[in-house]
């Protein structure tokens, strides 16, 4: 029989620091939305935090999940100092580890992503957990949008179709080098499904992938 996933043996207490982190993230990302949508960006951050908690992450890692984009998108290197001051060195270390650029303008897309992939190969387990949760949430959003609008979804991304697929395939392979967990399994499944959809192939369950277009 297949191994059953481990059940969390202890509950995680989320206290005032977590609530302050939600407020901090909401304020810093105020007015930002997900790519080509009206969805508030905080929805992505809360989704990543949810995945981290469901995978066994503690309060520090849930806070890091909420703040994983705040340096990259809301102030650069000075923002990392503020995160460290407000939420501690462990949170700041993970946020820094999830950041692929802390300057503006950002370096070219491909250069940034290749550097980030190299960094992940030597990152600590805390950083890999939050980063993988971020990628799961991103790929699931791409899948949902692809089903709705098809190939035009790729125009939203700096890497275009081929660059975006390369990035998530490579990330999947990097994360799978380490001990598998709930999040890396979910990432593998999501990226494999995105590959199948993009190629117009059958996906698990025997369905042939077809973009869904609303009437």
What count of residues does the chain have? 215
Helices (H), 29-88: 42-54, 59-66, 70-73, 77-87
CATH 1.10.3210.10 holds for 16-208: yes
Question: Does the structure show a pLDDT above 50 at 207?
Answer: no
Q: Where are the domains of the chain?
A: 16-208
User: Is residue 158 within 8 Å of 105, Cβ to Cβ?
Assistant: no
Which token pair is 27? 């304020």
Band (209; pLDDT cuts 50, 70, 90): very low
Residue 41: Cβ-neighbour burial (10 angstroms; 0-12, 13-18, 19+): buried
pLDDT in tens, 172-206: 999 999 989 999 999 999 999 999 999 886 554 44
Question: Does the structure show a pLDDT above 90 at 211?
Answer: no
pLDDT in tens, 148-181: 999 999 999 999 999 999 999 999 999 999 989 9
Q: Mean pLDDT of all residues in the chain?
A: 90
pLDDT in tens, 88-136: 999 999 999 999 999 989 999 999 999 999 999 999 999 999 999 999 9
Taking the alpha carbons at both ends of the chain, their separation in whole angstroms is 44
Task: Render 106-128 in DSSP notation, one character per residue.
Answer: PPPHHHHHHHHHHHHTT--HHHH
């Amino acid at each position: 029989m297949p191994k059953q996933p481990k059940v969390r043996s202890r509950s995680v207490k989320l206290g005032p620091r977590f609530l302050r982190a939600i407020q901090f993230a909401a304020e810093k990302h105020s007015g930002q939305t997900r790519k080509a949508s009206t969805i508030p960006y905080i929805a992505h951050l809360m989704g990543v935090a949810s995945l981290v908690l469901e995978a066994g992450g503690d309060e520090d890692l849930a806070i890091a999940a909420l703040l994983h984009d705040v340096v990259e998108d809301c102030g650069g290197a000075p923002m990392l100092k503020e995160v460290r001051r407000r939420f501690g060195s462990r949170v700041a270390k993970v946020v820094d580890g999830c950041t692929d650029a802390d300057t503006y303008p950002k370096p070219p897309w491909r250069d940034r992503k290749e550097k980030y992939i190299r960094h992940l190969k030597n990152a600590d387990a805390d950083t890999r957990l939050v980063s993988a949760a971020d990628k799961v949430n991103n790929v699931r959003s791409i899948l949902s949008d692809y089903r709705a609008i098809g190939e035009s979804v790729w125009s939203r991304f700096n890497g275009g179709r081929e660059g975006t697929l390369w990035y998530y395939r490579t990330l999947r392979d990097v994360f799978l080098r380490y001990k598998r967990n709930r999040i890396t399994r979910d990432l593998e499944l999501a990226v494999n499904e995105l590959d199948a959809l993009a190629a117009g192939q059958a996906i698990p369950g025997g369905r042939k992938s077809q973009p869904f277009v609303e009437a």
